Amino acid sequence: MPERQGKLGDSWNDCARKLLHFLGWEYVGDKNIDVKGNDGEDYGIDSILIYHNPSKSIKQTVLLESKRYAMNSINGNTISKWLKRLKEKIDGLRNSEELVKEYPVLNDCSSINLGIVMIWIHDANEQYLNVSFQNYLQSVNINTGARPDGSYSRIMVLDNRRITWLCSIIDILHSYDNYEFIYPARIIDDNPVEKNTILTIEYMMSNIVIAECTKDGKTETVVFYLSIITETTVVFIYELLMTFQCIRTGIPVCICYYDKSEKMIEVINSFKEKRKDICLNFRKMNHYSYDSEPACIANND
């Protein structure tokens, strides 16, 4: 049993890395590595990645911890131990000379300032994720707090819900010939608007993602929306796009909705009837089940 659990854990680490890679993040070195920290301790790392953030001048460095568990193996104490250990790794390696020596690319990147726990609960259901697991997260302190020098690190937890949402985004992006995520000035500290193929951690944790996609030479603005869709929500999305200057003459807008309510068709038809002045297309996003890893990142090697 332990050997099988180890293989499943390695397989999920491959899936987690692939997800981030699909979203523009870069691998640093191999997976499952040991690196000596400034304190002389050896730290076991599932993966190190780097990515470009439009609001930062250099690439950001990230430690990824991949977890694959059953519901009955998780509680608040389990999660607290994960976060505590990940914080120890971040603090021990953030200025590690050994790490930079082993991976010179990190010379041109930030010190480690972000940790991600990507947890796949293989027997989870909506009720468990929305209630029990959410309560576990709320019972622990995820905020790492500031260090004596004023610097700080962040830890993010991505569970089945966020993972499958991101995989659904990837599915639609792969239906186009080309795509770029749009970063309006307001969400990147008023830096100039930027378009690129990299999804930042802030965008990953958001309920709305904006992209420019092209197929057969035709371009459209695509909005991925995670929350419940109502007529009011649709108007809000359109006005947000106007504020972000993402509405352009001759470029259609498509809202990709994750809401699987049976009333969605009614909402869309009612909106189109009442707001004929707004031209929007709608597309339903794929919903993955939680009993197996999403196909787009499943390790089929």
The per-residue pLDDT of the chain, averaged, comes to 91
Q: Residue 145: its pLDDT value, please?
A: 66
pLDDT in tens, 98-137: 999 999 999 999 999 999 999 999 999 999 999 999 999 9
Q: Is the pTM of this model over 0.95?
A: no
Query: In angstroms, rounded to a whole number, what is the distance separating the alpha carbons of residues 220 and 277?
Result: 18
% of the chain at pLDDT higher than 70:
93
What pLDDT digit, counting tens, does each position of 17-35 carry?
999 999 999 999 999 999 9
Lookup result for tokens 């993972």:
163
Topology at the third CATH level for domain 2-158 = Trna Endonuclease; Chain: A, domain 1 (3.40.1350)
Helices (H), 103-187: 126-127, 134-138, 160-173
User: Rounded CA gap, 265 and 199, in Å?
Assistant: 30
The pLDDT of residue 190: 84
CA 2 to chain centre: 29
pLDDT confidence of 71, banded at 50, 70, 90? very high
Distant-in-sequence, close-in-space partners of 206: CB < 8 Å, separation ≥ 6? none
In the chain the beta strands, taken as DSSP E runs, fall at: 26-28, 33-36, 42-45, 47-51, 59-69, 109-121, 154-158, 178-183, 194-196, 208-215, 218-225, 253-257, 280-284
At 3, is the pLDDT very low, low, confident or very high (cuts 50, 70, 90)? Answer: very low
% of residues, the chain, pLDDT over 90? 76
Q: Residue 4: pLDDT above 60? A: no
90/125 Cα distance (integer angstroms): 32
Query: Could you state, in order of their start, the residue ranges of all structural domains in the chain?
Result: 2-158, 166-284
- Residue recorded with tokens 């010179």: 104
Question: 254: Cβ–Cβ under 8 A, 6 or more apart, which residues?
Answer: 220, 221, 222, 223, 280, 281, 282, 283
Which is it for strands 194-196 and 33-36: parallel, antiparallel or unpaired? unpaired
| Sequence letter at residue 54 | P
Q: Is the pLDDT of residue 262 over 60?
A: yes
Supply 173's token pair: 């992006």
Residue 191 banded pLDDT, cuts 50, 70, 90: confident
Nearest Cα to Cα of residue 169 among 287, 73, 59, 279? 287
Q: Which residue has the tokens 């904006």?
A: 210
- Whether the predicted pLDDT of 289 surpasses 70: yes
What is the model's pLDDT at position 186?
Answer: 86
Q: Would you say residue 180 has pLDDT above 70?
A: yes
The SS3 assignment for 121 reads strand
In tens, the pLDDT along 135-165 reads 999 999 876 666 666 567 899 999 999 999 9
pLDDT-based confidence at residue 5 (cuts at 50, 70, 90):
very low
pLDDT above 90: residue 274: no
